[in-house]
Amino acid sequence: MATAQTAGAARYVPQDHGLESLRAAAQGCHGCALFEDATQAVFGRGAAGAPIMLVGEQPGDREDRAGEPFVGPAGRLLARALADAGIDPSVTYQTNAVKHFKFTRKDGKRRIHQKPSRTEVVACRPWLLAEIDAVRPQVIVCLGATAAQSLLGADFRVSTHRGEELRLPRAVLGAPVTPEPVVVATVHPSAVLRDRSDRHDEAYKSFVEDLRGARSAADGV
Ligand code: URA
Ligand code: SF4
């Protein structure tokens, strides 16, 4: 139904914002066309009350198969960076701006990641907002431009505001959440992974620094 595919996720998000209800309902989402080719919706991982929420772009090939976020190469880099920043993964809730994997096929089989469009990011945002409402994190870390622009607006530039302590715009948040989370934007771990230049170590260190900054904005972490 073409109308259902362009109307966004809002109509699929249940009233009950318990994480398990949300996770189950996301599997039935037809809020944009991405559900058609992906294996499954990849919902967030972690507990309600986790002080730090990490938001990536969308699941990759591995995540699409496993049904869990950050289990592939970018996830491994993220896990190492969290450890180096002194953040126990159990204090994080890890999710993505877009819940279905978007890809093209190369040579008829290999699946190549495609960046989600602004329309898809906005279509999927109700799931992310419901997760924020369910988890009530103290700090939200946007990993890369897609996550940052989902929560902070299409004009947001990570390069200009990286590492700053920001707030969610009311227009995005809808109803106020208390306590209001701090939002920090940094690069995506796959950008660090892809940086094979002699600046790689520096890129990794700055990423860890941003995570450390996020940690210090959360109480008792
Ligand atoms: N990249 C993301 O943005 N999210 C994942 O879950 C995996 C890779
Ligand atoms: Fe729904 Fe998001 Fe999947 Fe689109 S990407 S179908 S909005 S869960």
Q: What is the pLDDT of residue 212?
A: 98
CA nearest 89: which of 211, 219, 1?
211
Ligand 1 mutation target, pool 58, 77, 124, most atoms within 8 A of CB:
58
Q: Distance (Å, rounded) from C-alpha 23 to C-alpha 42?
A: 8
Instruction: Scan for tokens 């602004």, then name that residue.
Output: 118
Q: What is the pLDDT of residue 106?
A: 86
Q: What is the pLDDT of residue 172?
A: 84
Q: What is the pLDDT of residue 199?
A: 92
Indicate which atom in ligand 2 lies nearest the CA of residue 123.
7
Which ligand neighbours the alpha carbon of 8 most closely? 2
Q: What is the pLDDT of residue 2?
A: 45
Ligand 1 mutation target, pool 39, 99, 190, most atoms within 8 A of CB:
190
Which ligand neighbours the alpha carbon of 102 most closely? 2
CB atoms within 10 A of CB 32: 25
Structure token pair of residue 112:
């190549």
pTM (2 decimals)? 0.95
Q: What is the pLDDT of residue 25?
A: 98
Q: What is the pLDDT of residue 108?
A: 79
Q: What is the pLDDT of residue 51?
A: 97
Q: What is the pLDDT of residue 193?
A: 94
Q: Distance (Å, rounded) from C-alpha 98 to C-alpha 125?
A: 7
How would DSSP label each residue in the chain? -HHHHHS-SGGGS-S---HHHHHHHHTT--SSGGGGTSSS----BS-TT-SEEEEES---HHHHHHTSSS-SHHHHHHHHHHHHTT--GGGEEEEESSSS--EEEETTTEEEE-PPPHHHHHHHHHHHHHHHHHH--SEEEEESHHHHHHHH-TT--HHHHTT--EE--HHHH-S--SSPPEEEEE--HHHHHH--STTHHHHHHHHHHHHHHHHHTSTT-
Q: Distance (Å, rounded) from C-alpha 10 to C-alpha 4?
A: 11
> Exposed/middle/buried for 146, CB within 10 Å: 0-12, 13-18, 19+?
buried
Low-confidence stretches of the chain (pLDDT < 70) are 1-6
Q: List pocket residues of ligand 1, CB cut-off 6 Å.
A: 56-60, 63, 69-70, 72, 74-75, 96, 190
- Is the CB of 71 inside a 6 Å radius of any atom of ligand 2? no
